[in-house]
């Protein structure tokens, strides 16, 4: 008997676990919103293009089960993003979802390109710990709201390896 795990079939429609979450990012704007802010610019945009190329933001964002920023967070998203395109808005993310509730304990780490011109884009779930021990999968992201110092994205986290 020989099983080749490298060719095992996984169905995209059938994750072993699925979470729908909303991430809220409130960017520090001087002293105007210091109480609410959950992220801050660590390095300014460069001179390349007109779309904030290189602007680098660190965040510790609340993650809620519904769309309201006022809802109790079910997780925190800790990580960073930066803009990385000359000709349009585009970004790259790496972050960890940190769960610490009666429902879930553990982490899910995510990274990938955030192709902002697409309605939905897929990032990779590259690891997990605790309740999400050894998880892998895909996080499908779509922007629900965006203004100068706030954005909200919907994240559908689909795990295809559950242990």
Report the distance separating Cα 69 and Cα 123, nearest Å. Answer: 23
Give the binding range for a second copy (CB under 8 A) out of 63-71, 105-113, 145-153: 105-113
Q: Is position 50 an interface residue for a second copy (rule: CB under 8 A)?
A: no
Interacting span for a second copy (CB under 8 A) from 49-57, 64-72, 148-156: 49-57
Of the candidate spans 63-71, 111-119, 145-153, the one that interacts with a second copy by CB under 8 A turns out to be 111-119
Residues 65, 69, 116, 162: which binds a second copy (CB under 8 A)?
162
How many Å apart are CA 12 and CA 4, to the nearest integer?
Answer: 19
d(CA 33, CA 28): 6
Structure tokens at 117: 């011109």
Residue 36's SS3 state is coil
CA atoms within 13 A on the CB side of 94: 3
Helix (H, G, I), strand (E, B) or coil at 6: helix
Q: Does 133 bind a second copy (CB under 8 A)?
A: yes
Q: Which residues bind a second copy (CB under 8 A)?
A: 1, 3-10, 12, 16, 28, 30-31, 34, 37-43, 46-48, 53-54, 56, 58-60, 78-80, 82-86, 90, 92, 94-96, 98, 106-107, 109, 111-113, 115, 122-130, 133-134, 136-138, 160-163
């Amino acid at each position: 008997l020989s099983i080749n795990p490298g060719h095992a079939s996984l169905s995209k429609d059938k994750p072993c676990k699925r979470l729908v979450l909303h991430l809220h990012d409130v960017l520090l704007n001087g002293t105007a919103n210091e109480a609410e802010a959950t992220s801050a610019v660590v390095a300014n945009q460069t001179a390349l293009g007109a779309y904030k190329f290189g602007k680098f933001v660190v965040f510790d964002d609340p993650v809620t089960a519904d769309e309201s920023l006022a809802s109790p967070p079910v997780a925190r998203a800790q990580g960073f993003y930066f803009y990385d395109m000359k000709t349009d808005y585009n970004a790259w993310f790496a972050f960890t979802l940190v769960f610490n509730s009666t429902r879930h304990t553990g982490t899910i780490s995510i990274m990938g390109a955030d192709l902002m011109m697409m309605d939905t884009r897929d990032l990779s779930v590259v690891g997990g710990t605790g309740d999400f021990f050894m998880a892998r999968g895909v996080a499908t992201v779509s922007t629900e709201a965006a203004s100068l110092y706030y954005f909200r994205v919907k994240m559908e986290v689909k795990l295809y390896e559950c242990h």
